[in-house]
């Protein structure tokens, strides 16, 4: 049955049996996508712990039995489930998760009374998963006998064109940034008119900076976690007996921790495009929330044109161009 639902035999899955007509859960994924280390389940949830080529990333999916805003529920009183909504949003921000753009139906759950409907089911992923899997959104399908709609996480490697280059202010705080620029600039050998030489050098430096940024700042969260682990280890060393070497290392680790944290905050602030908040304000969760909203609003993944859905890159670009030309 599961293979028929998937369409072929290239599938692995786990399931939680139903209790009567409700409570059953099924989780399916493409065979060979990752190595399953373990799985777990409980009342109303199932999950798998997998080994994948990413560190510290999250992909959560299911019926969270809560909405993120009032527009995700209809047919109920305005304050119904308000506390659950606040707690759910706090959880999403605390875990730095992203709710990818939604396509298809607006609601995922329809009450049997025919009046109430809510968006209870969704995918929540980390920023690393968004980039690694090239997530473009989540699609809600049509339901049959179930009161919940099926939901898919849509990933695509379609080329929408080059991404604009952006200078991150936190680069200036890194000790090796200026020396890296000087060394890379000296390496580049181009001849021709001065304007042409500068233009070509800047193009090459731009690509070098992208690579450098990925190597240095791509593991920022993991670096912070490792520093915290080192600080805790040093704390235990101080408890066992005050050692001057341990005290010095603790001060160095503490300074490095705050440096990394400020870099992360600066990066999130710049990505969120908030200019009315001062650099240094400890609002990383707020910046992350604003970044989520900005990403959802800026993405154009499909268009409705004369009753049909246009999703292919070339067709979307053509329709956008045609719209503005007319």
pLDDT one digit per residue (tens) for the chain, 326 residues: 788 878 888 888 888 887 776 667 888 888 887 788 888 888 777 888 877 666 667 888 888 889 998 889 988 776 678 899 999 999 988 888 888 888 778 899 998 777 889 999 999 988 778 877 878 888 888 887 788 888 888 887 666 666 677 777 778 878 888 999 999 888 888 888 888 888 888 888 888 888 888 777 766 666 777 778 777 777 777 666 667 777 778 788 888 787 777 777 666 666 655 444 444 444 555 555 555 555 655 666 677 787 777 777 778 888 888 888 87
CATH value at residue 33? 3.60.10.10
Domain count across the chain: 2
What is the distance between the alpha carbons of residues 116 and 163, in angstroms, rounded to a whole number? Answer: 42
pLDDT at 222: 66
Residue 310 belongs to some domain of the structure: no
Same domain, 6 and 150: yes
Residue 309 belongs to some domain of the structure: no
- Alpha helices (H) in the chain, listed in sequence order: 2-6, 82-94, 127-132, 177-187, 194-217, 220-240, 244-272, 284-298, 313-325
Q: Which structure tokens are listed for 40? A: 């777990």
CA distances (Å), origin 231, targets 218, 219, 238, 250, 264? 22, 18, 10, 6, 19
Q: What is the pTM of this model?
A: 0.52
Same domain, 205 and 242: yes
Parent domain of 251: 169-285
pLDDT at 276: 40
- Sequence-distant (6+) residues with CB within 8 A of 311 are 301, 302
């Amino acid at each position: 049955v599961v293979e028929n639902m998937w369409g072929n035999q290239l599938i692995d899955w786990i399931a939680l049996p139903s209790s009567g007509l409700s409570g059953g859960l099924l989780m399916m994924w493409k065979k060979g996508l990752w190595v399953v280390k373990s799985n777990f389940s409980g009342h109303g949830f199932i999950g798998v712990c997998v080994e994948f080529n990413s560190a510290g990333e999250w992909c959560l999916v299911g019926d969270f039995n809560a909405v993120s805003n009032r527009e995700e529920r209809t047919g109920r009183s305005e304050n119904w489930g308000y506390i659950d909504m606040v707690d759910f949003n706090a959880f999403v921000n605390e875990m730095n998760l992203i709710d990818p753009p939604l396509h298809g139906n607006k609601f995922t759950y329809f009450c049997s009374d025919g009046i109430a409907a809510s968006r209870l089911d969704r995918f929540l992923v980390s920023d690393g998963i968004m980039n690694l899997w090239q997530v473009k959104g989540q699609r809600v399908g049509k339901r049959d006998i179930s009161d919940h709609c099926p939901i898919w996480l849509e990933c695509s490697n379609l080329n929408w064109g080059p991404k604009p280059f952006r200078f991150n202010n936190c680069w200036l705080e890194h000790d090796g940034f200026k020396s890296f620029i000087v060394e890379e600039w000296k390496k580049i050998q181009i001849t021709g008119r001065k304007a042409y030489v500068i233009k070509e050098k800047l193009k090459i430096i731009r690509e070098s900076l992208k690579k450098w940024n990925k190597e240095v700042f791509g593991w920022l969260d993991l670096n912070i976690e490792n520093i915290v682990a080192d600080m805790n280890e040093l704390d235990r060393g101080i408890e066992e007996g005050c050692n001057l070497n341990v005290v010095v290392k603790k001060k160095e680790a503490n300074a490095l921790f705050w440096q990394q944290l400020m870099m992360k905050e600066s990066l999130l602030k710049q990505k969120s495009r908030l200019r009315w908040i001062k650099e240094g304000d400890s609002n990383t969760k707020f910046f992350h929330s604003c970044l989520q909203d900005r990403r959802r609003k800026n993405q154009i993944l499909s268009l409705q044109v004369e009753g049909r859905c246009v999703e292919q890159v070339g067709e979307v670009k053509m329709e956008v161009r045609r719209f503005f030309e007319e």
